[in-house]
Amino acid sequence: MTTKNPLLTVTAAEYAGDYTLRLTFSTGEVLLVDFSPLVQKGICRKLHDIDYFCSFRLDPFTIDWNDVIGFAPERLYELGVAA
């Protein structure tokens, strides 16, 4: 019998300054994710507007911005550093 890995989700999010969010994952880990390298690329350019960046919301699995920009929790976890 194989054991499935539990689904990784973002369970809490708060603005931590500049283009950084403090994210809590379903593993209990709290990581800082710096989005500054991403705000100059593609659709993520919208995040360069700090007011828009701060308008993120938490959905059942991850964070998103007005259902326009979102990141898989696994990607956010990879980008994160210990808080």
User: How big is the CA angle at 56 (ends 9 and 44), to the nearest 5 degrees?
Assistant: 95
Give the pLDDT score at 6.
82
Over residues 44-61, the pLDDT tens digits come to 999 999 999 999 999 999
Label residue 3 by pLDDT band (50, 70, 90).
low
Over residues 6-46, the pLDDT tens digits come to 899 999 999 999 999 999 999 999 999 999 999 999 999 99
pTM of the full predicted structure?
Answer: 0.90
Question: How many Cβ atoms from other residues are within 10 Å of residue 49's Cβ?
Answer: 11
Answer for the pair 44, 54: CB distance below 8 angstroms, yes or no.
no
Give the pLDDT score at 38.
93
Question: In residues, how long is the chain?
Answer: 83
Identify the architecture of domain 10-82 in CATH.
2-Layer Sandwich (3.30)
Ranges of each domain in the chain: 10-82
